[in-house]
């Protein structure tokens, strides 16, 4: 059971961070990040193997830290990007878009995803009158347009 902001979530929600890889738009593969250090690359000795010629044999590593995960490029030929920026090292946030060579992926932090779901539930529990008042303050059209 995971508790966040007084709300309990079952273990089945997913306590582990995940790396979701999109291989050529054909195959989406989800990898649960269960180790403290995870290697990523084309060689079969890696924890996460990406069979793509633009991915180096030993492309990158993910390290679990108390604050989350850190991604490090291991001197790959085609580089590693996070949210469109080339990196040597970067701390990952939930939803970060990662590129290894030409292979794209998304980092999912389970705890951040749970917190986001809790925020959504809390927002849904607002007073309906408050929700109406909030929406009434939004302009429907811009008369200057």
So what's the pLDDT on residue 145? 46
pTM beyond 0.75: no
Over residues 84-105, the pLDDT tens digits come to: 999 999 999 999 999 999 999 9
Pick 113 or 5 by higher pLDDT. Answer: 113
- Predicted confidence at residue 125, as pLDDT, reads 52
What is the predicted pLDDT for the residue at 27? 77
> Does 108 have pLDDT greater than 50?
yes
Confidence band of 141 (pLDDT split at 50, 70, 90): very low
Q: What is the C-alpha separation between 108 and 17, in angstroms, rounded? A: 6
Cα separation of 14 and 130, whole Å?
Answer: 33
DSSP states of 56-67 as a string?
A: -TT-EEEEEETT
């Amino acid at each position: 059971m995971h508790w966040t902001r007084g709300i309990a979530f079952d273990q089945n929600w997913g306590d582990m961070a995940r790396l979701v890889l999109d291989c050529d738009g054909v195959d989406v593969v989800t990898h649960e990040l269960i180790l403290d250090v995870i290697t990523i690359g084309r060689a079969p000795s890696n924890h996460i193997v990406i069979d793509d010629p633009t991915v180096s044999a030993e492309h990158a590593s993910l390290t679990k830290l108390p604050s989350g995960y850190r991604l490090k490029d291991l001197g790959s030929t085609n580089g590693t990007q996070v949210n469109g920026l080339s990196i040597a090292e970067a701390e990952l946030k939930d939803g970060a878009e990662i590129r290894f060579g030409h292979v794209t992926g998304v980092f999912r932090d389970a705890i951040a995803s749970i917190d986001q779901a809790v925020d959504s539930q809390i927002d849904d529990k607002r007073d309906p009158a408050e929700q109406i008042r909030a929406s009434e303050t939004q302009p429907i059209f811009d008369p200057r347009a």
